[in-house]
Amino acid sequence: MAQKAAKATARKNESSLTTLHILSLLFNLFFILYRFIYHSSSVTKVAIYSYVILNAPALGIQFYLESIGRPRDSRKKASDDLGAGGMMEMLWDVIYVTWACLVLVAAFGERLWWLWAVIPVYGVYAAYSAATGMRDTLGGLGGAANDMAAPGAGGSKRQAKMEKRTADGKNVRYR
Protein backbone atom coordinates (compact mmCIF):
# COMPACT_ATOMS: atom_id res chain seq x y z
CA MET A 1 0.00 0.00 0.00
CA ALA A 2 2.86 2.38 0.80
CA GLN A 3 4.43 1.65 -2.58
CA LYS A 4 1.21 2.67 -4.30
CA ALA A 5 1.13 5.97 -2.38
CA ALA A 6 4.79 6.63 -3.25
CA LYS A 7 4.06 6.03 -6.93
CA ALA A 8 1.05 8.36 -6.79
CA THR A 9 3.20 11.05 -5.16
CA ALA A 10 5.89 10.58 -7.80
CA ARG A 11 3.31 10.95 -10.61
CA LYS A 12 1.86 14.07 -8.98
CA ASN A 13 5.35 15.52 -8.53
CA GLU A 14 6.19 14.76 -12.16
CA SER A 15 3.10 16.64 -13.30
CA SER A 16 3.76 19.58 -10.96
CA LEU A 17 7.39 19.89 -12.05
CA THR A 18 6.54 19.76 -15.73
CA THR A 19 3.94 22.49 -15.26
CA LEU A 20 6.40 24.50 -13.17
CA HIS A 21 9.10 24.39 -15.84
CA ILE A 22 6.75 25.29 -18.67
CA LEU A 23 5.20 28.20 -16.79
CA SER A 24 8.58 29.47 -15.65
CA LEU A 25 9.82 29.42 -19.21
CA LEU A 26 6.70 31.25 -20.42
CA PHE A 27 6.85 33.97 -17.75
CA ASN A 28 10.56 34.57 -18.27
CA LEU A 29 10.20 34.64 -22.06
CA PHE A 30 7.29 37.04 -21.76
CA PHE A 31 9.36 39.32 -19.53
CA ILE A 32 12.42 39.22 -21.77
CA LEU A 33 10.50 39.71 -25.00
CA TYR A 34 8.12 42.37 -23.73
CA ARG A 35 10.53 44.33 -21.56
CA PHE A 36 13.84 44.00 -23.35
CA ILE A 37 12.65 43.93 -26.97
CA TYR A 38 9.29 45.72 -27.11
CA HIS A 39 10.25 48.39 -24.56
CA SER A 40 13.98 48.35 -25.25
CA SER A 41 14.30 52.08 -24.76
CA SER A 42 13.61 51.75 -21.03
CA VAL A 43 16.16 49.00 -20.40
CA THR A 44 19.02 50.04 -18.16
CA LYS A 45 21.72 48.23 -16.21
CA VAL A 46 19.54 48.52 -13.12
CA ALA A 47 16.69 46.79 -14.97
CA ILE A 48 18.96 43.93 -16.00
CA TYR A 49 20.49 43.57 -12.52
CA SER A 50 17.05 43.69 -10.90
CA TYR A 51 15.77 40.98 -13.20
CA VAL A 52 18.76 38.71 -12.59
CA ILE A 53 18.97 39.23 -8.82
CA LEU A 54 15.26 39.06 -8.04
CA ASN A 55 14.57 36.16 -10.40
CA ALA A 56 17.49 34.07 -9.10
CA PRO A 57 15.75 32.85 -5.90
CA ALA A 58 12.76 31.56 -7.89
CA LEU A 59 15.04 29.74 -10.32
CA GLY A 60 17.08 28.33 -7.43
CA ILE A 61 13.92 27.09 -5.74
CA GLN A 62 12.80 25.58 -9.02
CA PHE A 63 16.04 23.58 -9.28
CA TYR A 64 15.73 22.58 -5.61
CA LEU A 65 12.17 21.33 -6.15
CA GLU A 66 13.43 19.41 -9.17
CA SER A 67 16.13 17.73 -7.10
CA ILE A 68 13.82 16.65 -4.28
CA GLY A 69 10.72 15.97 -6.38
CA ARG A 70 12.12 13.48 -8.86
CA PRO A 71 14.16 10.46 -7.88
CA ARG A 72 17.44 10.42 -9.80
CA ASP A 73 18.61 6.83 -9.46
CA SER A 74 16.73 3.56 -9.22
CA ARG A 75 17.61 3.04 -5.55
CA LYS A 76 15.84 6.19 -4.42
CA LYS A 77 12.22 5.25 -5.00
CA ALA A 78 10.29 7.69 -2.87
CA SER A 79 10.47 11.43 -3.33
CA ASP A 80 9.26 14.33 -1.21
CA ASP A 81 5.71 15.53 -1.70
CA LEU A 82 5.81 18.88 -3.46
CA GLY A 83 2.23 19.58 -2.42
CA ALA A 84 3.00 19.36 1.30
CA GLY A 85 2.34 22.26 3.60
CA GLY A 86 4.67 24.39 5.64
CA MET A 87 8.00 25.24 4.08
CA MET A 88 7.05 23.68 0.75
CA GLU A 89 4.11 26.09 0.46
CA MET A 90 6.46 28.97 1.19
CA LEU A 91 8.77 27.89 -1.64
CA TRP A 92 5.87 27.78 -4.08
CA ASP A 93 4.73 31.21 -2.87
CA VAL A 94 8.15 32.69 -3.66
CA ILE A 95 7.85 31.36 -7.20
CA TYR A 96 4.32 32.72 -7.64
CA VAL A 97 5.20 36.18 -6.30
CA THR A 98 8.23 36.31 -8.59
CA TRP A 99 6.09 35.44 -11.60
CA ALA A 100 3.57 38.13 -10.65
CA CYS A 101 6.40 40.64 -10.33
CA LEU A 102 7.75 39.65 -13.75
CA VAL A 103 4.41 40.33 -15.41
CA LEU A 104 3.76 43.58 -13.54
CA VAL A 105 7.27 44.95 -14.05
CA ALA A 106 7.16 44.10 -17.75
CA ALA A 107 3.86 45.90 -18.15
CA PHE A 108 4.15 48.83 -15.75
CA GLY A 109 7.81 49.50 -14.97
CA GLU A 110 10.73 48.91 -12.67
CA ARG A 111 9.14 50.33 -9.56
CA LEU A 112 6.94 47.28 -9.18
CA TRP A 113 9.95 45.15 -8.20
CA TRP A 114 9.17 46.48 -4.73
CA LEU A 115 6.23 44.06 -4.64
CA TRP A 116 8.85 41.36 -4.28
CA ALA A 117 9.37 42.71 -0.75
CA VAL A 118 6.17 40.88 0.18
CA ILE A 119 8.22 37.69 0.47
CA PRO A 120 10.58 38.69 3.31
CA VAL A 121 7.78 40.60 5.07
CA TYR A 122 5.62 37.49 5.01
CA GLY A 123 8.62 35.41 6.18
CA VAL A 124 9.04 37.68 9.21
CA TYR A 125 5.30 37.48 9.90
CA ALA A 126 5.34 33.67 9.68
CA ALA A 127 8.36 33.43 11.98
CA TYR A 128 6.74 35.81 14.49
CA SER A 129 3.45 33.91 14.50
CA ALA A 130 5.29 30.60 14.90
CA ALA A 131 7.33 32.00 17.81
CA THR A 132 4.26 33.38 19.60
CA GLY A 133 2.44 30.10 19.00
CA MET A 134 5.32 28.20 20.55
CA ARG A 135 5.44 30.62 23.47
CA ASP A 136 1.72 30.15 24.11
CA THR A 137 2.03 26.38 23.81
CA LEU A 138 5.06 26.10 26.06
CA GLY A 139 3.83 28.69 28.52
CA GLY A 140 7.09 30.59 28.67
CA LEU A 141 10.05 29.27 30.64
CA GLY A 142 8.53 26.41 32.64
CA GLY A 143 5.09 27.95 32.82
CA ALA A 144 3.31 24.95 31.34
CA ALA A 145 5.22 22.55 33.62
CA ASN A 146 4.17 24.55 36.68
CA ASP A 147 0.55 24.57 35.56
CA MET A 148 0.54 20.82 35.12
CA ALA A 149 2.08 20.27 38.57
CA ALA A 150 -0.96 21.69 40.37
CA PRO A 151 -3.50 18.95 41.16
CA GLY A 152 -6.57 19.15 39.02
CA ALA A 153 -5.22 22.16 37.10
CA GLY A 154 -4.92 20.36 33.79
CA GLY A 155 -5.30 16.94 32.31
CA SER A 156 -8.26 14.65 32.38
CA LYS A 157 -10.90 13.96 35.02
CA ARG A 158 -9.45 10.51 35.58
CA GLN A 159 -6.02 11.99 36.33
CA ALA A 160 -7.54 14.48 38.80
CA LYS A 161 -9.43 11.65 40.50
CA MET A 162 -6.26 9.55 40.84
CA GLU A 163 -4.36 12.53 42.28
CA LYS A 164 -7.13 13.11 44.82
CA ARG A 165 -7.05 9.44 45.88
CA THR A 166 -3.29 9.61 46.24
CA ALA A 167 -3.59 12.75 48.40
CA ASP A 168 -6.23 11.05 50.59
CA GLY A 169 -4.02 7.96 50.97
CA LYS A 170 -6.58 5.58 49.43
CA ASN A 171 -4.40 4.67 46.46
CA VAL A 172 -1.41 3.29 48.37
CA ARG A 173 0.13 0.11 47.09
CA TYR A 174 1.75 -2.38 49.41
CA ARG A 175 4.46 -4.85 48.53
**pLDDT tens per residue, range 134-150:** 777 776 555 444 455 55
Residue 56 confidence (pLDDT) above 90: yes
* Entry pTM: 0.68
Residues 6 or more apart whose CB falls under 8 angstroms from that of 26 comprise: none
Residues 6 or more apart whose CB falls under 8 angstroms from that of 155 comprise: 148
What does the domain layout of the chain look like in residue ranges? 2-142
At residue 118, the pLDDT reads 86
At residue 152, the pLDDT reads 47
Q: Cα(156)–Cα(107) distance, rounded to whole angstroms?
A: 61
Q: Cα(28)–Cα(34) distance, rounded to whole angstroms?
A: 10
As separate numbers, helices (DSSP H) first and strands (DSSP E) second, the chain gives 6, 0
- The whole-number average pLDDT for the span 64-82 is 74
Q: What are phi and psi of 172, to 5 degrees?
A: -90, 135
Residue 59 confidence (pLDDT) above 90: yes
